[in-house]
Structure 1
Amino acid sequence: MMKQQLVKAYLKLPPLVQNVLVSLYGIKLYVERYGVGRRAAEKMLKNSESYSFSEMERLQEDAFVDLAHYAIDNVPFYIEWAKNKGISKSNISSIDDLSLFPVIEKEMIRDSPSSFVSKKYRNKKLISLSTSGSTGSPLEIYTDNHTRTLHYAFFTRLRSWFGVEKRGGRATFLGRIVVPQGQKRPPFWRYDFGQNNLLMSTYHLSEDNLSSYIEKLTAYRPVEIFGHPSSIYRVANYIIDNDSCGKVKPNVVITTAETLMPYQRTAIEKAFDCPVVDQYGCTEMAFFASQCESGEMHFHPEHAIIEIVDSKNCIVKPGVRGQLVATSLISKVMPLIRYKVGDTLSVSEEKSKCHPGFPIIKFLEGRTDDLVYKKDGGSVGRLSPIFRSDKNVTLSQITQEESGDITVLVVPNEKYNDKNREMIRRELVERVGDDLNISIFEVESIPKEKNGKFRPVKSYYKRIVD
């Protein structure tokens, strides 16, 4: 609730003051992401990116054995598991012993997140993160500055492949609320001086406003554009329709958080006349994947050990589609060993020519949330972050009816109350406007689709948008 009050107060401030506050928060994030240990991590990753498959496997094995021993000594869940199974640290001596560990389902973390937090960090100030709930149910994750620094070293390496420095000048299109929903005139962005980052509102990308976005991007000249492909695609289409391709030409466009569709890639590449790189990861920092300079989609193996399993959690052969199970090698705050992410994919049998030790992702079935459309024709993607853990919801689904009205189904937990309902409504209004009818219903369960998948956002709105 405090966070909502702060956002409400922020939105009432003058743009100049908002820029100051955004920059102060950016400095905080920069310290968390690029703090102590940054240089050592970046140097290690620079060296290991050319490792052979066997060299990378040895690196993973050493990291896994160290992590497994640590977890058995310090993490309540693994302490209890090892005790019940009669397993000691002496039983864990190679990467093959990963199979001794159970597969961790999301529900296990949701039901008891503290049991996965190391006792060594119990009395320390930790960073609490909440997953976006892209599968309908958010998780609470704990980390610290050191782990965040290790994680962002992988972003640094990815950006370095395309000549982008940490503060090289970035324009970001994510789901952050940076300007009031009702604002009708530019600027529809705020500037984060701490990270040299132009935060562009994705909730004001209407046909009437797009020209002002292009004017700002042209003046700002970002080295990198980063964000949701659905939003960047809308900007790209406007550029193409107005014969302005190459007018804004960054070194790279990096897409994240949504599935990058082939038609989106084609339009974005044409509009910005630069490489388009898809990045794939999760709030849990359980793994890191991205395309490289040659266009191959890779898991970064120094970050995590990857397994692809079938419905019985048995490992499938390369090339066969299955569920992603990841063992993060970078966090000792909340170690996740054999964590089932919930995405379907396959890895290639082929070895990479550009990065020999990196697995190649052959197929990735991403999280394709439907888009919700506002009355002014603007589309809004990634509404699932509304249902972070502070809403006390275990499962949620947003449906936009043919009329445009929105129906929200939530499965509440025991802490859910009227305030949570109002928070959900308010955050929806902040994103889609107040001219759509929003109905929220508490239910005991939400059915899956006929194919067994769960869709957190469904849209049947038939309005044709240019």
Structure 2
Amino acid sequence: MLRLFDLSLFINGFPIKEAKAELDTIILFSEEEHAQFIQNKKEEIVGFHLQNNAFYAALVGSENSKNWNDLPILNKQNLQKSLSERLSKGYSIKNVYLNKTSGSSGTPFVFAKDKYCHALTWSSNIIRFGWHGVDFNTSYQARFYGIPMDFIGNTKERFKDFLGNRLRFPVFNLSDAILEKFLEKFKTKKFDYLNGYTSSIVLFAKFLEKKNIVLKDVCPSLRVCIVTSEMLFESDKILLKKQFGIPIVNEYGASELDLIAFENPEGEWQVNAETLFVEILDDDNQPVPNGIEGRIVITSLYNKAHPFIRYDIGDIGILDEKSTLQKPILKQLTGRTNDVALLPSGKKSPGLTFYYVTKSIIEDDGNVKEFIIKQTKIDSFEIEYVSEIELNQDQIKKIEAATALYLEPNLKFNFIRKTLLERTNRGKLKQFKSYI
């Protein structure tokens, strides 16, 4: 069979064969060899950017770059300047892979990867998806993502879908009529796996639950579902397993970096320790012990075109106590650092806790399909939701009681029923947003 996917990478100048060979070598390292490899790559990438990248050299300044923990933390605000100012010597927009972050953190920016680094990203994807029997050249993907609406952007994505052997299910409008059309496609096409935004895939599962349909029954070729980009709650994972009849795999990545963590066949969220170095840091930028929550800070060990060294991705998480340098395990992804509810008492609560407390009540009877929470004032919140019938006083009282118990009393809520929720231009659903 023609390996269209590999061929398309090769034609676009990504040395996929060499990248696969290097990754295969790294995976076979002993623990000692891996520790030495990480040390060498860290020194090499810092040395390269201090020498060849004026933006990074200025950021480090005269600080002691010999000590890793003294290196500055790079954040998204640092990167909001023109790309030409951030590229390394020898790289231009003509000879790199260019893309833009989704902006779900509130700070979108354009980034670059050199072609070898991007080939490694794809090699890493190939290995991890392969853990679950997915082959990008031959497996047929049902893709739940957004798509550009302009003609050129749309055509480009559709062509990439053709090369990637996937059929796209756009997620901007997920009404029952549209979901019914999605279901018809599953009845006629031999999909091998689903991949896409968690919220959209969960919504499809709720639609199937209402119709009492298991997806595997109508599409027997399905093998696995891989969700990405948004939080996967345990209750949703159970629902997906039940309504799809296949294993559910959780992916955590960032377009500017790589796959950060991917659920392995043992059900652990295995961190990428081949092309990335992942640290969990406290507020003073010092590493915390495994098992302790902190900010997720990541170094791209191979990207020479653009520095991502000790880059604060804006997420909070915990590495499992049993993690090793060669096989770190992400125990928990707690959410984004900027998704925090500030309450009248001075208490700070992660937005996702807030969302989760509400979710446990609001979705009990299957009436509410999805919802988002917006903090409009220190004591005031709007809950926008899509449902068959309006929430009743009893449900509203339950939500108020639960938030009083888990967060604090006397918070005010305004419930707004909508036909569709606002998604980002890529189709992601931001579950909690603070406007204060």
Q: State the TM-score, normalized to the length of structure 2.
A: 0.71
Of the three residues 92, 98, 102, the one matched with 1:128 is 98
SS in 2 for 1:85: coil
Partner letter of residue 49 of structure 1?
Answer: I
Alignment-derived partner of residue 347 in structure 1: 319
Of the three residues 42, 48, 52, the one matched with 1:74 is 52
Matching of residue 196 in structure 1 with residue 165 in structure 2: yes
Q: CA deviation at 1:123?
A: 6.8
* CA distances 1:194-238 after superposition (whole Å, capped 9, x unpaired): 211101111232122322211202321211210011111122223
8 Å CA contact retained: 2:140, 2:193:
yes
* CA distances 1:58-84 after superposition (whole Å, capped 9, x unpaired): 221222222122111101133335662
Distance 1:102 1:39 in 2: 34
Distance 1:302 1:429 in 2: 31
Matching of residue 213 in structure 1 with residue 185 in structure 2: no
8 Å CA contact retained: 2:98, 2:112:
yes
Partner letter of residue 86 of structure 2?
Answer: F
8 Å CA contact retained: 1:75, 1:116:
yes
Quick one: structure 1 residues 216 and 115, their matched pair in 2 at CA, closer, same or farther if it must change by over 3 Å? same
Q: CA deviation at 1:169?
A: 0.8
- Structure 2: gaps spanning 5 or more residues: 152-156, 337-350, 359-367, 373-381, 385-413
- Map residues 131-150 of structure 1 onto 2, 5 A cutoff: 131-150=101-120
Alignment-derived partner of residue 75 in structure 2: 105
Alignment-derived partner of residue 257 in structure 1: 229
Distance 2:145 2:301 in 1: 27
Q: CA deviation at 1:359?
A: 0.1
8 Å CA contact retained: 2:251, 2:259:
no
Identity across the alignment (%): 25
Distance 1:403 1:429 in 2: 22
Q: CA deviation at 1:86?
A: 6.7
> What's the RMSD between the two structures over aligned residues?
4.0
8 Å CA contact retained: 1:206, 1:378:
no
Quick one: structure 1 residues 50 and 349, their matched pair in 2 at CA, closer, same or farther if it must change by over 3 Å? farther
Quick one: structure 1 residues 428 and 273, their matched pair in 2 at CA, closer, same or farther if it must change by over 3 Å? closer
Q: CA deviation at 1:244?
A: 2.6
Matching of residue 305 in structure 1 with residue 238 in structure 2: no
Alignment-derived partner of residue 48 in structure 1: 26
Alignment-derived partner of residue 213 in structure 2: 244
Alignment-derived partner of residue 145 in structure 2: 174
More divergent stretch after superposition (44-53 vs 99-108): 44-53
8 Å CA contact retained: 1:32, 1:149:
no
* CA distances 1:357-403 after superposition (whole Å, capped 9, x unpaired): 210111211357879xxxxx97699xxxxxxxxxxxxxxxx995744
Moved over 6 A (4+): 26-29, 368-371, 427-432
8 Å CA contact retained: 1:178, 1:201:
no
Alignment-derived partner of residue 391 in structure 2: none
Q: CA deviation at 1:122?
A: 3.8
SS in 2 for 1:260: coil
8 Å CA contact retained: 1:190, 1:200:
no
Of the three residues 204, 209, 228, the one matched with 1:235 is 204
Distance 1:430 1:37 in 2: 28
Q: CA deviation at 1:348?
A: 1.5
Of the three residues 41, 50, 59, the one matched with 1:63 is 41
8 Å CA contact retained: 1:224, 1:253:
yes
Q: CA deviation at 1:44?
A: 3.3
8 Å CA contact retained: 2:146, 2:425:
no
* CA distances 1:75-130 after superposition (whole Å, capped 9, x unpaired): 1133335662375xxx5xxxxx4224111122111246544320221474444322
* CA distances 1:271-323 after superposition (whole Å, capped 9, x unpaired): 22222111111122166211111110011101211111111111111111000
- Map residues 28-43 of structure 1 onto 2, 5 A cutoff: 30-31=8-9, 35-43=13-21
SS in 1 for 2:252: strand
SS in 1 for 2:45: helix
Alignment-derived partner of residue 287 in structure 2: 315
8 Å CA contact retained: 2:145, 2:426:
no
Distance 1:230 1:29 in 2: 32
Quick one: structure 1 residues 107 and 175, their matched pair in 2 at CA, closer, same or farther if it must change by over 3 Å? same
SS in 1 for 2:33: helix
8 Å CA contact retained: 2:97, 2:118:
no
More divergent stretch after superposition (36-45 vs 272-281): 36-45
Partner letter of residue 243 of structure 1?
Answer: N
8 Å CA contact retained: 1:323, 1:345:
yes
Quick one: structure 1 residues 42 and 275, their matched pair in 2 at CA, closer, same or farther if it must change by over 3 Å? farther
Q: State the TM-score, normalized to the length of structure 1.
A: 0.67
More strand by share: 2
8 Å CA contact retained: 1:288, 1:303:
no
8 Å CA contact retained: 2:290, 2:323:
no
Distance 2:158 2:109 in 1: 29
Larger relative contact order (Cα-Cα within 8 Å, sequence gap ≥ 6): 1
Quick one: structure 1 residues 133 and 29, their matched pair in 2 at CA, closer, same or farther if it must change by over 3 Å? farther
Distance 1:325 1:100 in 2: 14
Alignment-derived partner of residue 376 in structure 2: none
8 Å CA contact retained: 1:203, 1:378:
no
Quick one: structure 1 residues 428 and 272, their matched pair in 2 at CA, closer, same or farther if it must change by over 3 Å? closer
Matching of residue 279 in structure 1 with residue 244 in structure 2: no
